[in-house]
Structure 1
């Protein structure tokens, strides 16, 4: 993981932004190229933040549906196309401001926040909304680990926000919105 010294913050975020920009070319992308670009983006986020799983979830009606996933293991615990009711998700609670973008340890707050059993055993969770340039909400970019992570902070949220903007550009290009 990157050095989190105050002096390194600006350079670190600048380097992060240039890496994200390299993944999101200004050319119109289609199909597999878009999928590969989003996969590269998620892999970079997962590796840089040292998380087990990073995903882009789309809000479809009353559900959060996993669309793109990067996992440390081949058998990810979540799969593309799976979903849960939005109202049950940490993701929805982040979007509407009921929970912070960084949760260092989900397990001790799970029952007090009415989170479903599938959050049992989760360590850290970090997430941000994914919005198109017109302001429309697509869903979320989130990641989690199985161990608590007190080291995740606002700088990591800024990283995720940059990555969420890049993901939104890629998704918009795939939809022909760009």
Structure 2
């Protein structure tokens, strides 16, 4: 198969499924690398909230798989509290979605305001140098990035955590997480900022 027919096949696949081609890159030893460009998930504005929720859930599931994390979620501010708006994990997702805690005790908020780094390969080791909050689920590794809408509104924070430390977690993984945050922001903008 020549290069032109491969590209044509990729475009046909993208139109049929709404998912674009992946670009593979080298991965560090022992950790599968995130894709430089993962599937592109689109939602039609008229499809409504249910379709937006499904599209966001698909992105979270993809992030969980690509970043080899146990939990990936979007937290949103509700007054002085942080609530889980979307989540994907192996176990009781409903239980995680019901978690609410004060924003001052949130990893997400501390990353947003710069009190914690955006990439934490070993949360336990970080406790020696930073004020790390206690959380309903104790992370071994953690990463977060804000989801900014087109108008400058903070939609939420895209976060992921591993239940054990992940020493090879780094900037490349965070870059992939930021790409997904931009994709989620675009979907939310297209759906009217819900």
TM-score w.r.t. the length of structure 1 is: 0.81
Taking a change above 3 Å as real, the CA distance of residues 50 and 77 of structure 1, as seen in their structure-2 partners, is: farther
Asked if 1:159 corresponds to 2:182, the answer is no
Asked which structure has the greater CA Rg, the reply is 2
CA distance in 2, matches of 1:92, 1:104: 18
CA distance in 1, matches of 2:131, 2:117: 15
How far has the Cα of 1:156 moved from its partner?
0.9
Matches within 5 A, 1:114-153: 114-118=131-135, 121-153=138-170
RMSD between superposed Cα atoms in Å? 2.6
How far has the Cα of 1:31 moved from its partner?
2.2
Unmatched runs of 5 consecutive residues or more in structure 2: 1-24, 29-33
CA distance in 1, matches of 2:98, 2:188: 16
How far has the Cα of 1:68 moved from its partner?
0.2
Of stretches 125-134 and 109-118 in structure 1, the one that deviates more from structure 2 is 109-118
How far has the Cα of 1:122 moved from its partner?
2.0
How far has the Cα of 1:24 moved from its partner?
2.5
Q: Determine helix, strand or coil for the equivalent of 1:79.
A: helix
How far has the Cα of 1:117 moved from its partner?
3.1
From 58, 63, 71, give the equivalent of 1:40: 58
Do the aligned residues in 2 keep the contact of 1:107 with 1:119 (CA within 8 Å)? no
From 168, 174, 178, give the equivalent of 2:185: 168
From 68, 79, 98, give the equivalent of 1:50: 68
Taking a change above 3 Å as real, the CA distance of residues 71 and 150 of structure 1, as seen in their structure-2 partners, is: same
Deviations along 1:79-136, whole A, 9 cap, x unmatched? 2242111111111111112211110111233475333433674200011011101111
How far has the Cα of 1:77 moved from its partner?
8.4
Q: Determine helix, strand or coil for the equivalent of 1:115.
A: coil
Q: How many pairs align?
A: 165
Q: Determine helix, strand or coil for the equivalent of 1:114.
A: coil
Could you list the structure 1 runs, at least 4 aligned residues long, displaced by more than 6 angstroms after superposition.
none
Do the aligned residues in 1 keep the contact of 2:105 with 2:135 (CA within 8 Å)? no
